[in-house]
Chains A and B, each alone.
Chain A
Amino acid sequence: EGPLVETGGGLIQSGGSLRLSCAVSGFSVSDNYMNWVRQAPGKGLEWISVIHGAGTTYYADSVEGRFIVSRDTSKNTLYLQMDSLRPEDTAVYYCTREARPYGDYLDYWGQGALVTVSS
Chain B
Amino acid sequence: QSVLTQPPSVSGAPGQTVTISCTGSSSNIGTGTGYGVHWYQQLPGTAPKLLIYNNNNRPSGVPDRFSGAKSDTSASLAITGLQAEDEADYYCQSYDSSLSGFVFGAGTKVTVL
Q: Which residues of A contact B (CB under 8 A)?
A: 35, 37, 44-47, 50, 58-60, 94, 99, 102-107, 109-112
Contact = CB atoms under 8 A, between A and B. Distances in A.
Given A44-B106, A45-B91, A105 B48 contact: no
Interface string B65-86: 0000000000000000000000
Interface string B87-101: 000010111000111
Interface in B33-80: 35-36, 38, 40, 47-50, 53-54, 59
B36 A105 contact: yes
A105 B54 contact: yes
Interface string B1-28: 0100000000000000000000000000
A108 to B, nearest CB: 8
Nearest to B101: A47
Given A106-B50, A109-B49, 14 more contacts: A44-B107, A45-B40, A45-B93, A46-B104, A47-B101, A47-B102, A50-B101, A59-B101, A60-B101, A94-B47, A94-B48, A103-B38, A105-B54, A106-B40
B30 interface: no
Determine chain B's interface SS by DSSP, over half rule.
Answer: strand
Contacts of B107: 44-45
B2 A44 contact: yes
Contacts, number: 62
Contact of A104 (B2, B35, B40): B35
B69 to A, nearest CB: 16
A102 B50 CA distance: 14
12 contacts: A37-B102, A44-B91, A44-B106, A45-B93, A58-B100, A60-B99, A94-B48, A103-B53, A104-B102, A106-B50, A109-B48, A110-B47
A99 B75 CA distance: 20
Given A44-B105, A99-B53, A107 B59 contact: yes
